[in-house]
Amino acid sequence: MSQWETVIGLEVHVQLATRSKIFSGAATAYGAEPNTQACAVDLGMPGTLPVMNAQAVELAIRFGLAVGATVAERSVFARKNYFYPDLPKGYQISQYELPVVVGGGLNVRLDDGSSKFVQLTRAHLEEDAGKSVHDAFHAETGVDLNRAGTPLLEIVSDPVLGSAAEAVAYLKTLHTLVRWLEVSDGNMQEGSFRCDANVSVRRKGEPLGTRAEIKNVNSFRFVEKAIDYEIERQIRLIESGGQVVQETRLFDAHKGETRSMRGKESAHDYRYFPDPDLPPLVIAAADIERARAQMPELPEARRQRYIDALGLTEYDASLLTADRIVCEFFETLIAALPEQAKLCANWVLGEWLGALNANALTPDTSPISAERLGSLLQRIVDGSLSSKMGKQVFEELWHSDESADAVIERLGLKQVSDTGALAAVVDEIIAANSKQVEQFRAGNEKLLQFFVGQAMKATRGQANPAQLNELLKAKLA
């Protein structure tokens, strides 16, 4: 097997976060009644004219700059002609020879800790088609055109990915980035982020092999399975004397296999030509500069800053920067607790994400805001709460609107860290246990635990352990 090398290039369709379609004013909202959100422009009715959605262009520019690509000051829309029931106008408006974003790349971190730069070929603007609906009518197929004209950015990578795992790592990095940039909501169940995987194999040193394209896989797990299946299939085919044919294949998630769908069209089959209804897309240099000035700190840079400036581990920094909303939550926390990055990271990644997961909630629907969690952590930092009590307060905050201080007050949880009060408790215990004091002073240091236990009992567990230890040691010496 090891004489074989895998080559993968991905085409990712990202639905742009605009409220209206790419060339019309119809809504893009997901889940509407079939055929209520496609207007005459989306259907290409005679006499209608498409008008470019400026927001879609802005999002394409933002993406291009974030991956270090060239944003073309002039790009061209082309008609890609083909017949399919979900495309009533007979062509899709896309970009072909002159796309809006050229080149660029993504630094992808792999599971073994190394990283790989994945060169992008291009990213172009295009409209989505409608969709065939197979389960609405008995023995008939319906067509829902709500998706027609939905703005997409198709992001094409060079054929440089070497395994299914690398392909998935690349996809996850890209998914984080487009959500981070608010270019797309990235919702994979709703089809806002879907991927065609081009896969070929070759013996080491040979030129690129013939590829098969696996269409429209919409989960990371399925991409990995589909690619691994395809690699095996192609190697077995070639080793048994066969040849890979260039074709489009579908992944069957139930069977875990890919199946031939149709022979792959070549570009010339589509009879691409510039769309006569749309002028070239001209982007002013000033618009590119404005987008550059508004660029947020990118996940990669932020991750490095967390390691270098905040002293977080690579692991924590990676988890915190994998999602913009999680990361902004953490940013709000450390703004309130600037010296406590590690504590904040532990609570965000441990208690908070854990509670969200356990309750099947997402970060944007958290019942605890970063501000409320911040005031709870403040009480741990100033010694009023042990971290164990902190977790108890967290539980209460999760189920109510109370502030951390109100919960602490109500449950009488305040840790006794007032040295005066603790000292009095310690004095009493020493006075009441003279035998143990003698034994301790004679060298039985294990008895320290006995005194700690007595003090905890006297304060109903609310003594600050660090202060208690210090006081006991001083007074027993």
Contact set with ligand ADP (CB under 6 A): 7-11, 156-159, 198-200, 208-209, 211, 267
Check if the beta carbon of residue 21 is closer than 8 Å to that of residue 29.
Answer: no
Q: Strand pairing of 247-252 and 257-263?
A: antiparallel
53 binds, among Mg ion, ligand ADP, none (CB under 5 to 8 A by kind): none
Closest distance of CB 204 from ligand ADP, Å: 15
CA dist., res. 156 & res. 63, Å (int):
13
Closest distance of CB 189 from Mg ion, Å: 23
CA dihedral 377, 382, 383, 389 (to 10 degrees): -20
Closest distance of CB 5 from ligand ADP, Å: 11
Closest distance of CB 92 from Mg ion, Å: 12
164 binds, among ligand ADP, Mg ion, none (CB under 5 to 8 A by kind): none
- In the complex with Mg ion, the residue whose CB is nearer, 139 or 267, is 267
- In the complex with Mg ion, the residue whose CB is nearer, 37 or 258, is 258
CA dihedral 316, 320, 321, 326 (to 10 degrees): 180
Other CB atoms within 10 Å distance of the CB of residue 196: 17
What is the SS3 assignment for 407? helix
Closest distance of CB 288 from Mg ion, Å: 27
Closest distance of CB 2 from Mg ion, Å: 30
CA dist., res. 166 & res. 177, Å (int):
17
In 194-254, alpha helices (H): 220-239
- In the complex with ligand ADP, the residue whose CB is nearer, 16 or 201, is 201
CA dist., res. 122 & res. 285, Å (int):
19
148 binds, among ligand ADP, Mg ion, none (CB under 5 to 8 A by kind): none
- In the complex with ligand ADP, the residue whose CB is nearer, 234 or 454, is 234
7 binds, among Mg ion, ligand ADP, none (CB under 5 to 8 A by kind): ligand ADP
Tokens of 112: 């073994």
What is the SS3 assignment for 399? helix
Tokens of 176: 């984080």
211 binds, among Mg ion, ligand ADP, none (CB under 5 to 8 A by kind): ligand ADP
- In the complex with ligand ADP, the residue whose CB is nearer, 41 or 199, is 199
Closest distance of CB 11 from Mg ion, Å: 5
- In the complex with Mg ion, the residue whose CB is nearer, 32 or 245, is 245
CA dist., res. 191 & res. 354, Å (int):
27
Closest distance of CB 199 from ligand ADP, Å: 6
Q: Which residue is nearest to ligand ADP (CB)?
A: 9
- Phi, psi for 74 (deg, rounded to 5): -140, 120
The site map against Mg ion for 2-41 (x = CB under 5 A) is: ---------x------------------------------
CA dist., res. 279 & res. 259, Å (int):
40
- In the complex with ligand ADP, the residue whose CB is nearer, 60 or 156, is 156
Q: What angle do CA 134, 137, 142 make, to 5 degrees?
A: 55
CA dihedral 21, 26, 27, 28 (to 10 degrees): -30
158 binds, among Mg ion, ligand ADP, none (CB under 5 to 8 A by kind): ligand ADP
Instruction: Please give the residue ranges that form the binding site for Mg ion (CB under 5 A).
Output: 11
